[in-house]
Chains A and B, each alone.
Chain A
Amino acid sequence: MDFNDTPEEAAFRAEARAFLSANAQPKAGSRPTLRQGGMDAAGVEQAKDWQAKKADAGMAGLTWPKKFGGREASPILQVIYNQEEEDFTVPRGLFEIGLGMCIPTMMAYAKPEQLDRYVQPALRGEEVWCQLFSEPAGGSDLAALRTRAEPDGDDWVINGQKIWTSGAHLSDFGIVVVRTDPNKPKHEGLTFFFLDMKSPGVEIRPIHQMSGARHFNEVFFTDVRIPDAQRLGGVGQGWKVSLTTLMNERLAVGETPRPDVDDLLALSRSVTLDGEPAIRDSAVRERIADLYARSQGLKFTRFRTMTALSRGETPGPENSIAKLVNGTKLQDIASFGLDLIGSAGLVVDDDLTEAYGMFQSALLSSPSLRIAGGSDEILRNIIAERVLGLPPDIRADKGIPFNRVPTGTR
């Protein structure tokens, strides 16, 4: 065992480091960047400039084919780039979905002339993409979506609603899965398209989250016309195409959310309990030990994933646990940290909070980590069925035409 890069990895790491040092600010001190609100116009411009710089330096689309501006690199290089980028303050969050999910789906299903048109502008950050999957009636049960598409000449006419669409209001294009045949069982009646988000009839409304932020949107479709030429995959093949998109979800090797266990440790040294630093208290120590062991377990699980990638293997299912563990861990750290602060933990005024208000902020944002991109419950099902090989649940909607599947009132 060792933790060393291969010579190729080391060379790339140095290249990435040099690029970042020359073009970005190192993270100063320990003040974390909290995702408070949505991205404003200036933030979008900064993000686009940064993406263009990355593309010019060959640091974008690392794993993509060379003809689309990539390097055809092993996914380990993407992980290494992400690790290095962690140490710098750079705009994040605008292009991950487009480049990580939308464009790879396009590469698998779009026509060559469409790829010539769309890939480069996306890679260079000139055009932003979003993914329109979830609906009010279809979250964990994605295939239960109801947005309808009906053929009309060379077009399809879309009516319905999507929800939880990150960055829809900033996007130029989107990929969307819709129902084209409600008389078929739910997985069989779906079809996949890409569309211009500025099309007439597309209405975007931001969702005001419990954390106060607005990252997600509702997207309403009223008689929106999409040319059939923008269909990805066959009519009725939308589920299969959706799985391609979901398989391209970014490798879960990203940043550890703050506050982390080191932040909790620092806090427990600075606040007192019974006249002593809280870190002296055995109950506090036990909680910190448990959280630290979990954090280290995740860190070294990531190392195992990186090892598989470095060897050119597909990472094993051990990678599926990261998201499941991280959500609850963040919620636990936030809540326990506030418990240590005491009644002042309620206060979120900037000038009065401990630890930059990280714990308060995480208390309100952490529930989303346990829901977005696969809820804790769905992740446990995935581990049970795909890793442990347990039989699938019995489904009340199996084989039934979609328009006859029972629905609730919510």
Chain B
Amino acid sequence: MNFDFSDDLKQLRDQARRFLSEQCTPAVVRRSLDGQETFAAGLWKEMAEMGWIGAAIPEQYGGAGLGYEGLCVLAEEIGRAVAPVPFSSSAYLASEAILLAGTEAQKKSWLPQLADGSVIGCFALAEGTGNPDPRNVRVRMAGGRLTGSKWPVADGGIAHIAIVAARDEAGEIAFYLVDLANVPKRTLTTLDPSRDHARLELDGVQAQKLGEAGGWASVQALLDRVAIMMAFEQVGGADASLQMARGYAMERFAFGRPIGSFQAIKHKLADMYVALELARSNAYYGAWALSAGSSDIPLAAAVARVSATEAFHLASKENIQTHGGVGFTWAVDCHLYYRRSKNLALAFGGPPFWKNRLVDLLETKNAAQGR
């Protein structure tokens, strides 16, 4: 039994944690939150130089070749720091879509630029209200051009390329790669302004299909993989929320004693810890499934996603509660986690979507086992 990250990856995690605690302070996050910058471009460049963005991209395509476990370790730290960078859009979604569906030529052409951070990618699936569902994909591909609008698209305003899920003339869904240089975009105001979101207006823009195959299954396969990486971000954010609440509970005095000595606070923090550890264990299994290429990826992903969303939600809201009134102010950082928690929970399918999928997968698995 070796259900833990290797010493090398733990070292990478510690380095990332140190780096981000120095370079991605709440003041940096707030520059995006307050609209002074769309994302932390300097931080992004340094992350690229350290090989983080291409962590899971094979070396032959310019990546660091650290594998999925490496990417997961970094994701946790990026979540912990509430980093205002398009890491999930570029490193998980766009790069993974190209790795999953792209031709050899497309991989060679795009992955090195994504890995070195010079090109930022994003993924455009949603078209307004609704969870991931093939019936909600209405953007059309005809004659090599895409028509329709996609929103919200995380990092759509800062990305150079988008991977767009669209329907061809035969009605089949596939991924299309679009250069965003000339695509009209509307910047969206969101619950979490520390991350860019846009509406892309695709008015007959030229696009190339990723690979040959298509189908909703490839979209779902991408979402499964990304759900696992995102679960690590959520675990990182939940841990940071818990540590913030803990720190405050030790220092804040009421009725002549630290509020952390009251059982009402202790039990709240214990429940946050339990949810976090369950989520962490489920995320670890997801990381194993990804790196082993297991057939269990879909179920592992749904479980990791459900648990991590729950853990971050609980920890971020109870962090505010532990702080009391001061936790409700703009000046105190509790809301950074609370906003990010909802942002990550809603990205590519909220809990109802993933819970439903989890039970679908359990049913399939049990049917296969004849139960």
Fill in one digit per residue for B295-314: 1 if any A CB lies within 8 Å of its CB, else 0: 00000001100110010000
Q: B356 contacts A297, CB within 8 Å?
A: no
B246 in contact with A391 (CB, 8 Å): no
Instruction: Report if A390 contacts B (CB, 8 A).
Output: yes
Chain B CB within 8 A of A285 CB: yes
**B190 within 8 A of partner (CB):** no
Say yes or no: B356 contacts A289, CB within 8 Å: yes
In the complex, whether A388 has a CB less than 8 A from a CB of chain B is yes
Within 8 A of B (CB), among A169-188: none
Stretch at the interface among A207-215, A338-346, A377-385: A377-385
* B41 within 8 A of partner (CB): no
Number of A positions contacting B (CB below 8 A): 50
Stretch at the interface among B81-89, B104-112, B359-367: B359-367
- Report A276-313 CB contacts with B as 1/0, cut-off 8 Å: 00010010011011101110111111011011001000
Does A3 lie within 8 Å of B3, measured CB to CB?
yes
- Of the listed stretches A92-100, A123-131, A160-168, A317-325, chain B binds A317-325
Given contacts A286-B352, A381-B263, contact A303 B281 (CB under 8 A): yes
A1 touches B287 (CB 8 A): yes
Q: Which residues of B contact A393 (CB under 8 A)?
A: 261-263, 266
The reply to whether B284 and A300 form a contact with Cβ atoms under 8 Å apart is yes
Q: Are B3 and A390 interface neighbours, CB within 8 A?
A: no
In the bound complex, CA of A262 to CA of B260 (Å): 38
Q: Is B291 an interface residue (CB 8 A)?
A: yes
A387 interface residue (CB < 8 Å to B): yes
Q: Given B263, B274, B371, which contacts A377 in the complex, CB threshold below 8 Å?
A: B263
User: Contact residue range for chain B?
Assistant: 35 or more
User: Which one of B260, B267, B282, B310 lies within 8 Å of A380 (CB-CB)?
Assistant: B267
Contact B266 A297 (CB under 8 A): no
Q: A1-B3, A296-B285, A377-B263 are in contact. Are A289 and B273 (CB under 8 A)?
A: no
Given A288-B359, A297-B279, A388-B270, A394 and B1 touching (CB < 8 A)? no
Contact partner of B291 (CB less than 8 A), chosen from A1, A289, A306, A391, is A1
How distant is the Cα of A117 from the Cα of B330 in the complex, in angstroms? 70
User: Using an 8 Å CB-CB cutoff, how does the interface string of B254-298 with A read, 1 for contact, 0 for none?
Assistant: 000110111101110111011001110110110110011000000
**Interface presence of B317 (CB below 8 A):** no
Q: Is the CB of A310 within 8 A of B2?
A: yes
B contact residues around A286 at 8 Å (CB): 352, 355-356
CB distance from A306 to the nearest CB of B (A): 4
Complex CA distance for A406 and B260, rounded to whole angstroms: 25
- B69 on the A face (CB < 8 A): yes
A-B pairs, top 5 by smallest CB distance, nearest first, are A297-B278, A384-B266, A289-B355, A300-B281, A380-B270
Chain B interfacial positions (CB closer than 8 Å to A): 1-5, 69, 242, 246, 249-250, 257-258, 260-263, 265-267, 269-271, 273-274, 277-279, 281-282, 284-285, 287-288, 291-292, 302-303, 306-307, 310, 352, 354-356, 358-359, 362-363, 366, 371
Q: Write the residues of chain A forming the contact surface with B, with a CB cutoff of 8 angstroms.
A: 1-5, 9, 76, 262, 265-266, 279, 282, 285-286, 288-290, 292-294, 296-301, 303-304, 306-307, 310, 318, 321, 324-325, 377, 379-381, 383-385, 387-394
